[in-house]
Amino acid sequence: MSECVQTALITGAGNGIGRAIALAMADSGRKVSCADINLDDAQRTVQAIEQQGGVAHALKADVGSIAQIEAMIKDTVSVFGSLDIIVNNAGVTRAADIMELTEDDWDRIHRVNAKGVFFCLQVAARQMIKQGGGGRIINIASIAGKGFKGTSNAAYSASKGAVISLTRTAAQQLAKHNVNVNSICPGVTTTEIVEKLSIDRAKARGISKEEMMKEMSKDIPLQRANEPEDIAAMALFLASIGARNITGQSYNVDGGLVTS
């Protein structure tokens, strides 16, 4: 990786985990490209970074589109001169029982969560290799991909399992270019997506959102859900010199919910 100021690209940077990672990367002194399907959300993250004295750039990107992924990488390099770190965070889901899932659900979820992560990884790796090799690819998976029973739905679990498997294979094949590939598997995390899931589940159960969130967190050994900053802390570590010899791994950040 370059010894100059590094550039980090975060997908889904407008809210939740992506926003927290973007802020943390900027706070660590990196230049940050904030990509989101909602440009206004990306711009708000950039404004927050700039208010803290950081350097950031907002761009609109649908990671389900290869053309938009390529444009996103090109735009980032055009603005900042390089791409050293990418965090593939953008993701979608909905609350649904396995018997309720439709073909449209499957296609929508896998288009972003699996296809999007793969092609973001591939296009980013091409850029890192073009720069002379070296880089960090961090995929946001989920403990759902490891069999967590509280997952939002089976299609989501399958998509995150794909990310975990992709991380292993990509790490093996990109190691010769000194590109590290790892993933983070969050557990229950207080994001907008989880809040919506809790509202939907609460309505279905006839209970309050607060009761639903309490129920979703009751089995966590540490007795607390993640804040987005907990995931950001792991992303910072995986992007650091301390993680230079770590690749192909998928780390749970879940308060102890899943132990494999």
- 197 and 242 in a single domain? The answer is no
- 51 and 129 in a single domain? The answer is yes
Domains in the chain: how many in total? 2
- Only one residue has tokens 């987005």, namely 228
The pLDDT, as a whole number, for residue 255 is 94
Q: For every one of its 260 residues, what pLDDT tens digit does the chain have, with 9 covering 90 and above?
A: 445 799 999 999 999 999 999 999 999 999 999 999 999 999 999 999 999 999 999 999 999 999 999 999 999 999 999 999 999 999 999 989 999 999 999 999 999 999 999 999 999 999 999 999 899 999 999 999 999 998 999 999 999 999 999 999 999 999 999 999 999 999 998 877 767 766 776 777 787 767 776 777 788 999 888 999 999 999 999 999 999 999 999 999 999 999 88
The pLDDT, as a whole number, for residue 209 is 67
DSSP-assigned letters across all residues of the chain: --SS--EEEEETTTSHHHHHHHHHHHHTT-EEEEEESSHHHHHHHHHHHHHTT--EEEEE--TT-HHHHHHHHHHHHHHHS---EEEE---------TTT--HHHHHHHHIIIIIIHHHHHHHHHHHHHHTTS-EEEEEE--GGGGT-TT-S-HHHHHHHHHHHHHHHHHHHHHGGGTEEEEEEEE-SB-SHHHHHHHHHHHHHHTS-HHHHHHHHHTT-TTS-PBPHHHHHHHHHHHTSGGGTT--S-EEEESTTS---
Give catalytic residues, as residue numbers.
156
- 134 and 244 in a single domain? The answer is yes
Domain membership flag for residue 242: yes
- 81 and 70 in a single domain? The answer is yes
- 118 and 178 in a single domain? The answer is yes
The pLDDT, as a whole number, for residue 248 is 98
- 73 and 196 in a single domain? The answer is no
Q: Which domain holds residue 212?
A: 191-225
Judging by beta carbons within 10 Å of its beta carbon (0-12, 13-18, 19+), is residue 149 exposed, middle or buried? exposed
- 100 and 117 in a single domain? The answer is yes
The whole-model pTM stands at 0.92
CA atoms within 13 A on the CB side of 67: 0
Domain membership flag for residue 217: yes
Here the CATH number for the domain that contains residue 30 is: 3.40.50.720
Domain membership flag for residue 255: no
- 108 and 207 in a single domain? The answer is no
CA 121 to chain centre: 12
- 243 and 144 in a single domain? The answer is yes
Domain membership flag for residue 175: yes
Domain membership flag for residue 260: no
Domain membership flag for residue 85: yes
- 27 and 129 in a single domain? The answer is yes
- 96 and 108 in a single domain? The answer is yes
Domain membership flag for residue 256: no
Domain membership flag for residue 259: no
- 33 and 155 in a single domain? The answer is yes
Alpha carbons 27 and 211: distance in angstroms, whole number:
35
